[in-house]
Each structure stands twice: as structure tokens, then as C-alpha cells.
């Protein structure tokens, strides 16, 4: 095998060119140039022609016909020897060749420019996520504050309207017992009993909870009455009458269950008043 290594190395060094620079001109790696110069492999004919063109020498120089000419200062000015900076690889993002001075990350291989862009994108995404988190937290805080205010409003409204309705009921009981010429004990007892039960009952109607669920218990089982007319030519009048009949029956059952539920709720309301008041107070404070 013809020994081309010394010729290539001599031409390269005389031009002050590194192995990596020669490899870049020939579109090969610096390792390939190193193997040529160490006679571990040899370039093909087309590559040798390129080398002769780059160094401005005849192709016959590689055949042992004479020594490489002295560097032509005008054709190729001599350069100062440079420290080799071999190509490490290619950036996995932009695809450009990466040298040691340009490497920002080895696995995966990234150049400094792409690494900086990736870092900027990650920072922007983090800032966006943080902004969304703060917006959600602020929305949740506002919703909780609105709910707290609504709970306070419902509590106060129940207390006020309960007092008004209870006052009217107590006044009616007082007038009726005085008109019946009842004793003072019966008058006072009747007024107090009506005040306690009615106030506990009406206040909790505005707060929701057990009393409201009890009052609407019958309605939830039976449902609100409704009449649906089916415009069918066959039996039109019969269908309408049957639907009206069932609607009236449903209305009667609904009113009966509603009355029974109200009576039961009225009886138990004094026992649930304090727990319900504590509950709405805690909800109003946001506890």
C-alpha cells in the first residue's frame, strides 16, 4: 500500500492547517485525517484529487515523484499553527457541528445556542405555569370569600325574618288568647311556646339543612304535580281527563306530605336551631 501519510501531514503542517480544518474541507472527520497521516488507512482517488487541489500541488506528489513544493506565499499564505479543536459531534437540536468550546451539554449533545434557547423556553413555561397557578388560587379565594359572605347574608336574613314572622305569630296568639279571656299563665305560656317553635322553624328555613330537607321530604318522593297533554286523535278526551285526574291526585298527596313534613319540622326545629346556627356561623367565617 502506497504511503501517503507523510505527504499529507507535511502539506497540512506547511499550510498551518489542523486535522479538523482539513477534514472539514474534505467533509470527513479529523479521525479520518489522523488515520491517513499515521498510514492506518488511505484516501480514495477522488479525495486525493481534492487534497492536491486544496494544497495547490500536482497529484503526482502522492506517487513519490518528488517532494512537496515549498509553500507558495501568494497562493496560500502561511498561517500560525493553531491548537486543534476537533468536532465532537453534531447538535441534536439544530444539527450543526459542535466543538468542545461550543458544547453546552453532552447527553444529548447540544450547542450553547440551542441550550440557551431550551433554557429560555423552560423558564417561560415555568413562569406561565406559575401565573396560571396564582390565577386559579386567586379565583378559588374569591369564590370562598363570596360563599362566606353569602352564608353570613343567609344567616342574618334567617334571624331577621324569623324574628318578624315569630313576632306576628306571637301577636296573633296574644290577641286570640286575650279575646278568649284566658288566664295570664295560659297567655304567657302560649306566646312563649309559639315564639320558640316558630322562631326556630322559620329561621332554619332560610339556612337550609335538616329542617328544609324535612319540609321538602314529601315533595322529593312524590314530585311536583304536572299535567302533560298528548294530542292523539284516538282517545284525546280520555287521555286528558285521566291526566288531569292523576295530576289532582298527585297534588293532594303532595300537599298532605308537605303538611306532615312541616308539622314534624316545626316540632323538631327547637332542637336543631342551635346546631344549625353554629353551622351557618362557621360557614360565614369561612371555617
Domain annotation for the chain: domains and CATH numbers: 1-84 (1.10.260.40), 146-285 (no CATH)
Q: Distance between CA atoms of 91 and 172, rounded to whole angstroms?
A: 92
Residue 287 pLDDT grade (very low, low, confident, very high; cuts 50, 70, 90): low
For residue 166, give the nearest of 211, 202, 204, 215 by alpha carbon. 202
Q: Which residue has the higher pLDDT, 133 or 249?
A: 133
Q: Distance between CA atoms of 103 and 98, rounded to whole angstroms?
A: 6
Tens digit of pLDDT for each residue in 123-147?
A: 889 999 999 999 999 999 999 889 8
Lowest mean pLDDT among 30-39, 108-117, 257-266: 108-117
- Per-residue pLDDT, averaged over 8-20, amounts to 88
pLDDT value for 218: 62
pLDDT value for 133: 92
- Per-residue pLDDT, averaged over 12-33, amounts to 88
12 burial via Cβ count (<10 Å: 0-12, 13-18, 19+): buried
- Per-residue pLDDT, averaged over 25-39, amounts to 87
Residue 71 has pLDDT above 60, yes or no: no
Q: Which residue has the higher pLDDT, 182 or 172?
A: 172
Whose cell is 326545629? That residue is 269
Predicted TM-score (pTM) above 0.75: no
Residue 158 has pLDDT above 80, yes or no: yes
What does the buried/exposed string (b/e) look like for 26-54 if buried means 16 or more CB atoms within 10 Å of the residue's CB?
Answer: bebbbebbbbbbeeeebbeeeebebbbeb
Residue 50 has pLDDT above 60, yes or no: yes
pLDDT value for 37: 87
111 DSSP β-pair partners: 103
Lowest mean pLDDT among 68-82, 110-124, 185-199: 68-82
pLDDT value for 80: 44
pLDDT value for 84: 56
Tens digit of pLDDT for each residue in 186-208?
A: 888 888 888 888 888 888 888 87
Question: CA torsion 150→152→153→154, rounded to 10°?
Answer: 90
98 DSSP β-pair partners: 89
DSSP 8-state symbol, 82: -
Collapsing DSSP to helix, strand or coil, 265 comes out as helix
pLDDT value for 1: 47
Amino acid at each position: 500500500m502506497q504511503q501517503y501519510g507523510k505527504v499529507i501531514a507535511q502539506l497540512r503542517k506547511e499550510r498551518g492547517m489542523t486535522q479538523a480544518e482539513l477534514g472539514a474541507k474534505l467533509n470527513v472527520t479529523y479521525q479520518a485525517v489522523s488515520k491517513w497521516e499515521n498510514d492506518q488507512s488511505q484516501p480514495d482517488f477522488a479525495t486525493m484529487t481534492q487534497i492536491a487541489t486544496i494544497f495547490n500541488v500536482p497529484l503526482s506528489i502522492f506517487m513519490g515523484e518528488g517532494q512537496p513544493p515549498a509553500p507558495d506565499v501568494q497562493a496560500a499564505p502561511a498561517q500560525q499553527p493553531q491548537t486543534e479543536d476537533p468536532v465532537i459531534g453534531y447538535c441534536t437540536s439544530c444539527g450543526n457541528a459542535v466543538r468542545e468550546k461550543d458544547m453546552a451539554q453532552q447527553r444529548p449533545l447540544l450547542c450553547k445556542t440551542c441550550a440557551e434557547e431550551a433554557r429560555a423556553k423552560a423558564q417561560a413555561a415555568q413562569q406561565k405555569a406559575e401565573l396560571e397557578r396564582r390565577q386559579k388560587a386567586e379565583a378559588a379565594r374569591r369564590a370562598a370569600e363570596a360563599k362566606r359572605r353569602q352564608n353570613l347574608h343567609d344567616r342574618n336574613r334567617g334571624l331577621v325574618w324569623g324574628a318578624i314572622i315569630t313576632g306576628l305569630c306571637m301577636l296573633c296568639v296574644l290577641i286570640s288568647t286575650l279575646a278568649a279571656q284566658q288566664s295570664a299563665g295560659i297567655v304567657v305560656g302560649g306566646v312563649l311556646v309559639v315564639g320558640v317553635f316558630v322562631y326556630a322553624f322559620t329561621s332554619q328555613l332560610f339556612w337550609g339543612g335538616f329542617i328544609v330537607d324535612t319540609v321538602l321530604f314529601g315533595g322529593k318522593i312524590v314530585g311536583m304535580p304536572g299535567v302533560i297533554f298528548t294530542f292523539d286523535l284516538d282517545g284525546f278526551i280520555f287521555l286528558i281527563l285521566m291526566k288531569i285526574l292523576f295530576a289532582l291526585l298527585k297534588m293532594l298527596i303532595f300537599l298532605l306530605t308537605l303538611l306532615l313534613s312541616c308539622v314534624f319540622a316545626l316540632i323538631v326545629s327547637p332542637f336543631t336551631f342551635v346546631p344549625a346556627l353554629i353551622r351557618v356561623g362557621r360557614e360565614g367565617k369561612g371555617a
